[in-house]
Amino acid sequence: MTIFLLILVTSISTPLPLLEAEDTIARGATAMYMITLEEGLDYWVLMNFEDGMDLDIIVASDEMDYDEFIQLPYFEDYMYAREFAITEGATEGTEDIVLTAPYTGTAYIIIHDIAETGGDYHLRVF
């Protein structure tokens, strides 16, 4: 009974992600997700992936032109999104970013395979 209660408390105290994606990215590719921010709230963006991969992540503001972004070739789309970054993670290994929303509205989460290896990743936003 004690173990059951411990599992129940742990599952209740862990919040569900606002966004969760388990996906595969092609070698050198860019992926995009949209979220809605609420000004002043803190968001935790966490991305895990396989050893040997290096993925960079950007949260771009709603000032980024979606139609222009989507028309650009790989890497150019990532560089364009960086111009509108409100936060970014460009470290080797797991990405772990805390973002305090500067406005209420849409934001774009951009993931780019900077190491050009491709592979699986797990993205969560809390």
pLDDT, tens digit (0-9, with 9 covering 90-100), for 42-51: 999 999 998 8
| Gap between the Cα atoms of 81 and 95, Å rounded | 17
Which domains occur in the chain, in start order? 18-125 (2.60.120.380)
Task: Indicate if the pLDDT at residue 68 is higher than 90.
Answer: yes
Q: For residue 123, what are its two tokens?
A: 């993205």
Question: What pLDDT digit, counting tens, does each position of 57-67 carry?
Answer: 999 999 999 99
Strand partners, 108: 34, 60
Which residue's entry shows tokens 């790989």? 74
DSSP-H helix ranges across 33-75: 66-71
Record the pTM. Answer: 0.84
| Gap between the Cα atoms of 110 and 72, Å rounded | 13
| Gap between the Cα atoms of 37 and 47, Å rounded | 18
Q: For residue 80, what are its two tokens?
A: 């364009």
Q: What is residue 93's predicted lDDT score, i.e. its pLDDT? A: 73
| Gap between the Cα atoms of 80 and 69, Å rounded | 7
